[in-house]
Structure 1
Amino acid sequence: MIRTVATTPYTDQKPGTSGLRKKATVFQQPNYAENFVQAVFDVVEDKAGATLVIGGDGRFLNREVIQVAIRMAAANGFGRVVVGRGGILSTPAASHMIRKRGAIGGLILSASHNPGGPTEDFGIKYNIANGGPAPEKVTNGILARTLDIDRWLTVDADDIDLDADGVVEVGGMPVEVVDPVGDYAALMETLFDFDAIRAARLTMAFDAMSAVTGPYATEILEGRLGFAKGTVRNGTPLPDFGGHHPDPNLVHAHELYETMMAADAPDFGAASDGDGDRNLIIGRHRFVTPSDSLAMLAANAHLAKGYTGGLKGIARSMPTSAAADRVAEALGIPAFETPTGWKFFGNLLDAGMATICGEESAGTGSDHVREKDGLWAVLLWLNILAVRGESVDAIARDHWAKYGRNYYARHDYEGVESDKADALMAALRGSLATLPGTRFGDLVVEAADDFAYTDPTDGSVSRNQGVRVLFEGGSRVVFRLSGTGTSGATLRVYLERYEPAGGDLDRETGDMLADIVAAADAIAGIVEHTGRTAPDVVT
């Protein structure tokens, strides 16, 4: 029996670049999660009899919201729900599951790299039939529905046992609880040479950050590739991620960094985030920035069996360094610069225009799914190391000697009052016309703009995607407000200096970027607008 529950709208349910993210206490308000899920279901067309995938990263509220969503799916006419055992599905595994099962879409319950727990963050994202994040026309429809919603639908049924594989019925709808790892691991074996990786006898440290990739990494790295027991650290997903911030950067994965900088460091180190779509790559005594990792993976992808035919194109988000562009030029393939958000890559992947994509925020992936994929990047690195028989450091040095080096960092000013952040960006946009030709120390502004993107697949235009200030010689600074936080605003400042091949390729990044940091403050008035004299996080 379908039950209709009267409700009133909440006005703060606008989906961001990766769904709706709020504090868990916000989602615990009466009807809050239900309103948003119902808005999604009201917007989804042709759902009658269709398959829906549901899973999440195991954070606080994951299991409870899954049970609610299952009952609501039954009431809204879906034909089947596929859910990961324990409520677990990494974001890339969910993307693969949607595609493999021919599902109409999926609910991914995660706030990605944001902390979890009773007072921390929760999120709900809807992915469409291609396995990728919902495009703006869908998220705009969801927002519109949240503002006039007056009821949500459910069925009266008991919670299902999420820890037992098999099929049960809820309101007459089959609900299939499945192994969350097996299908994804099998896909990885089609892309990478597991025999070659095993034969290389590499040593490794992987930090799963008490998040969703623990079961995946344990099965693939220790189970199928033969790495030693204990290679996977913090491998059990916890509702609060062990009290840590599950963001794979040098601040939050500092213990891994210390391991990799030690005299007895293993060959390779890596980490992944809350929902498994981001990665951190560190070789023995060599950290590789996400921007450089994208470029190096693209330059060497042909060494893995899934990419022996070459790449169709490389795509990067606008704030990501131009290192990958130089690889694309050398390979004679297109390079695409898109707004931040994987949905833009999804269009290129669906159209067969790109094969490998990446973001400076530690996300890389390929056309095997429609999300960024942390373990995929780790496995491709392992495949490259095994075939080349060289260290991460040697591969990085060889890459820079051929293409030059894009020294790169991101400075995050977190929790800035929204009005102050908006004022800073407004002043920046107002200065764009007068910036070209201006000198800041030895730097001369060549061009400045507010990045806009015309999607080559459908002609849609996305404006106001971040302010770019380009200096003569290939260096630049980018200013952008992030859409992934849950309170205040995060001002992200992206700093890049290009040093050509034959130049100064082995200096400390901070030293090489010092003049660009000074120029960034002079251009944007960061101290003046925010009162901040230093970033909260440097990556």
Structure 2
Amino acid sequence: MTIQIIKTTPFDDQKPGTSGLRKSVKQFKKPDYLQTFVQAIFNTLDNIGGSTLILGGDGRYFNREAIQIILRMAAAAGFGRVILGQGGILSTPAASNLIRKYQAAGGIILSASHNAGGPEGDFGVKFNGPNGGPAPESMTEAIFAASKQIQEYHIAPIQPIPVDKLGSYELAGMKIEVIDSVSDYLALMETIFDFNKIAALLQSGKFKMRFDAMHAVTGPYAHRILEQRLGAPVGTVIHGQPLADFGGGHPDPNQAHAKELMNLLYARNSEIDFGAASDGDGDRNMILGKRFFVTPSDSLAVLAANATLVPGYRNGIAGVARSMPTSQAPDRVAAKLGLACYETPTGWKFFGNLLDAGKITLCGEESFGIGSDHVREKDGLWAVLFWLNLLAEKQDSVENIVRSHWAEYGRNYYSRHDYEEIELQDANVLVDALLGQLPSLAGKQFGALTVDKADSFTYTDPVDGSVSKNQGIRILFADGSRIIFRLSGTGTQGATLRVYLEKYEPDASKHDQDVQEALADLLAIAQQVARIEELTGREAADVIT
């Protein structure tokens, strides 16, 4: 079969962010746009010949068309085998598991994660390396450099593959295996958690839960694992059918976007004991008790404190890591248990070296992502199963478990305020102005709070010595409170300014304050120092979590 060589011109906007390249669907559908980026990925890989590639996505709009294009390009590049999730469906943690299990050269995951989908929505392409984790900065920079020099791409002639039918196929000498998307992931979960105890809890008739798949990728996984394997009643999983536009919703598992689930758990007469949700590609999670929200930071801390109750971590954990903007709640657990603790930049790829080196077992980010060394991605369903295992062991409520944790370790009041789709120029002016203030902030007093340190966070990787600069602006106060400013790299329109607020309260008698009231003084300082309204025109955040 003759491989086609298509002449093209490079695009100047294909720089991957923290989770690959995310653009609007309209941008990805421009002639040669997807092909150019995929060719840039292949051009940076060594030893493609005969190797295995994992391929799948979250089922969003343009997923199926992109898969057929990538299959043809993989054949032209010389891959020996592609393992493809049935229907083009693979959650991000499931893809990571397959890369590791089948010793693949890597994987291409088609997702824009928690961004909206549909013809007017977003699409994304991410490459994960042989360890199963997101490409490190060195590789994403190489991909971007290659994308700017592309003059042609290579592709096999059109030969559509029936992606909905399990089986083996061939394309230009390359083997394609369409596999069940859930089976390998389910088998992995069974090695970590006590499925018998979880099943007894879910089938007891005394415990009710709801899992909101948000019409995204985890629907098939949740139906198979929760309802079929563990025996939860049919209807436990809601919005379980993956849809190309996520049913018109926003697949971001937080209080703002998972409104139906929030209403179920917060109803005055609610009979639901446990609620959870996951996002577009299945790597994020939200945990709810009855009329009780668990922050992702607290969730990571609770799991770390109770890890030995779960079979997969019964012998203890090596350490924990959190992204810099994530609250310091996990640090307090690590200190008390004598565990190593690391603070990294935002982006799951920064945990990869720590996990591969065996320095940590659990890690997480405040953006509703937690994971462990079982894969090299955050994992939404894994977190849900972990909580279910704890609930089965402790025979207690979510709220009581968290409150007991606060009583022992103290409470970190924490919130994130997102100012979305700010004009990029305005966002850059705000950040530059903040950077200019940093030298003069130390020692400055704001009411009862005194600034101890102000800086732009720099991370030196303890494994390979690489340095990552400008990872967020920090204002650290003498009492342990913090204000963090970051521009997000996951949006596709303008810029999102994220403002993180944190205040530590060791006194259990003060653990019932309203979160926003507890943090009101910090928010006022943040608005004053950054001049948010003056420079962006925004009086308040668009999303508060």
Report the TM range for the smaller structure's normalisation: over 0.9
TM-score, normalised by the number of residues in structure 2? 0.98
The answer to whether structure 1 residue 414 and structure 2 residue 415 are counterparts is no
**1:272 equivalent in structure 2:** 278
**2:217 equivalent in structure 1:** 212
Q: Distance in 2 between matches of 1:203 and 1:318?
A: 35
Question: Structure 1 stretches (4+) deviating beyond 3 angstroms?
Answer: none
**1:294 equivalent in structure 2:** 300
340, 347, 362: which is aligned to 1:356? Answer: 362
Superposition pairs for residues 492-531 of structure 1, below 5 Å? 492-531=498-537
**2:3 equivalent in structure 1:** 2
Query: Displacement of 1:221 after TM fit?
Result: 0.5
Superposition pairs for residues 90-239 of structure 1, below 5 Å? 90-200=91-201, 201=204, 202-239=207-244
**2:44 equivalent in structure 1:** 43
Q: Distance in 1 between matches of 2:131 and 2:509?
A: 44
| Cα deviation 1:271-308 (Å, max 9, x = unaligned) | 00000000000011210011111101111111110000
The answer to whether structure 1 residue 396 and structure 2 residue 410 are counterparts is no
Query: Displacement of 1:265 after TM fit?
Result: 3.0
Tell whether the 8 Å contact from 1:402 to 1:501 is kept in structure 2 after alignment. no
320, 339, 344: which is aligned to 1:333? Answer: 339
| Cα deviation 1:121-174 (Å, max 9, x = unaligned) | 000000000000000111111000110100000111311000111100001110
Q: Distance in 2 between matches of 1:102 and 1:501?
A: 50
Q: Distance in 2 between matches of 1:507 and 1:237?
A: 38
Tell whether the 8 Å contact from 1:210 to 1:241 is kept in structure 2 after alignment. yes
Q: Distance in 2 between matches of 1:438 and 1:95?
A: 46
457, 466, 471: which is aligned to 1:460? Answer: 466
Q: Distance in 2 between matches of 1:395 and 1:142?
A: 45
319, 323, 326: which is aligned to 1:317? Answer: 323
**1:342 equivalent in structure 2:** 348
Amino acid at match of 2:162: D
5+ residue gaps, structure 2? none
Q: Distance in 2 between matches of 1:291 and 1:228?
A: 30
**1:381 equivalent in structure 2:** 387
Tell whether the 8 Å contact from 1:111 to 1:123 is kept in structure 2 after alignment. yes
Q: Distance in 2 between matches of 1:407 and 1:72?
A: 49
Tell whether the 8 Å contact from 1:21 to 1:486 is kept in structure 2 after alignment. yes
Moved more, 493-502 or 102-111: 493-502
Helix, strand or coil at the partner of 2:318: coil
Amino acid at match of 1:162: V
| Cα deviation 1:497-539 (Å, max 9, x = unaligned) | 1101435111110110110100111111111111100000001
Helix, strand or coil at the partner of 2:141: helix
Question: Could you say if the C-alpha distance between residues 413 and 482 of structure 1 is closer, same or farther in structure 2, counting changes exceeding 3 Å?
Answer: same
Query: Displacement of 1:264 after TM fit?
Result: 2.4
The alignment covers a number of residue pairs equal to 539
Helix, strand or coil at the partner of 2:264: helix
Q: Distance in 1 between matches of 2:543 and 2:455?
A: 26
Tell whether the 8 Å contact from 1:207 to 1:234 is kept in structure 2 after alignment. yes
Tell whether the 8 Å contact from 1:400 to 1:501 is kept in structure 2 after alignment. no
TM-score, normalised by the number of residues in structure 1? 0.99
Backbone CA RMSD of aligned residues: 0.7
Helix, strand or coil at the partner of 1:401: helix
How high is the sequence identity, in percent, across the aligned residues?
61
Q: Distance in 2 between matches of 1:271 and 1:341?
A: 21
Amino acid at match of 1:477: I
Q: Distance in 1 between matches of 2:488 and 2:155?
A: 35
Q: Distance in 1 between matches of 2:253 and 2:539?
A: 25
Q: Distance in 1 between matches of 2:528 and 2:158?
A: 61
Tell whether the 8 Å contact from 1:157 to 1:170 is kept in structure 2 after alignment. no
Q: Distance in 1 between matches of 2:208 and 2:310?
A: 19
Q: Distance in 1 between matches of 2:346 and 2:305?
A: 22
